[in-house]
Structure 1
Amino acid sequence: MTHDAVRLDSVTRRYGSLTALDGVSLSFPAGTFTAVMGPSGSGKSTLLQCAAGLDRPTSGSVAVAGTELTGLSERRLTLLRRERVGFVFQAFNLLPSLTAEQNVALPLRLAGRRVPASRVRQALGQVGLADRARHRPAQLSGGQQQRVALARALITRPDVLFGDEPTGALDTRTGREVLGLLRDMVDREGQTVVMVTHDPVAAAYADRVIFLVDGRLSGELTGADADAIALRMTRLEAVPC
Structure 2
Amino acid sequence: MSKLDGDAVALRRVSRRYGSGGSAVTALDDVSLAFPHGSFTAVMGPSGSGKSTLLQCAAGLDRPTSGSVTVDGTELTGLGERRLTLLRRERIGFVFQAFNLLPALTAEQNVALPLRLAGRRVPRALVREALRRVGLGDRARHRPAELSGGQQQRVALARALVTRPAVLFADEPTGALDSRTGHEVLGLLRGMADREGRTVVMVTHDPVAAARADRVVFLVDGRVHDELTGAGADAVAARMTGLEAVPC
Per the shorter chain, which TM-score range? over 0.9
User: Offset at 1:76?
Assistant: 0.5
1:212 aligns with 2:219: yes
Structure 1 counterpart of 2:7, which letter? Answer: D
TM-score (norm 2): 0.96
User: Offset at 1:151?
Assistant: 0.1
Q: Please list every run of at least 4 consecutive aligned residues from structure 1 whose deviation after the TM superposition is greater than 2 angstroms.
A: none
Structure 2 partner of 1:91: 98
1:80 aligns with 2:87: yes
- Matched residues in 1 for 2:60 and 2:228: separation? 26
Structure 2 partner of 1:171: 178
Structure 2 residue matching 1:49: 3-state secondary structure: helix
User: Offset at 1:233?
Assistant: 0.3
Cα displacement string for residues 12-60 of structure 1 (whole angstroms, at most 9, x for unaligned residues): 0000211000000000001010000000000000000000000000000
1:137 aligns with 2:144: yes
Structure 2 counterpart of 1:58, which letter? Answer: T
User: Offset at 1:215?
Assistant: 0.4
Cα displacement string for residues 164-205 of structure 1 (whole angstroms, at most 9, x for unaligned residues): 000101111111110011111111111110000000000000
- Matched residues in 2 for 1:239 and 1:56: separation? 29
Cα displacement string for residues 76-116 of structure 1 (whole angstroms, at most 9, x for unaligned residues): 00110011000000001111111100000000001100011
Please tell me the root mean square deviation across aligned C-alpha atoms, in Å. Answer: 0.9
- Matched residues in 1 for 2:63 and 2:45: separation? 21
- Matched residues in 2 for 1:162 and 1:209: separation? 15
Structure 2 partner of 1:21: 28
Cα displacement string for residues 103-150 of structure 1 (whole angstroms, at most 9, x for unaligned residues): 000000011000111110110011010011111111111000000000
- Matched residues in 1 for 2:9 and 2:247: separation? 32
Structure 2 counterpart of 1:172, which letter? Answer: S
- Matched residues in 2 for 1:66 and 1:222: separation? 25
- Matched residues in 2 for 1:13 and 1:73: separation? 19
- Matched residues in 2 for 1:227 and 1:130: separation? 36
Equivalences for 1:1-241 in 2 at 5 Å? 3-16=6-19, 17-241=24-248
User: Offset at 1:206?
Assistant: 0.2
Aligned length: 241
Structure 1 residue matching 2:241: 3-state secondary structure: helix
User: Offset at 1:2?
Assistant: 6.0
TM-score (norm 1): 0.99
Percent identity reads: 82
- Matched residues in 2 for 1:97 and 1:214: separation? 41
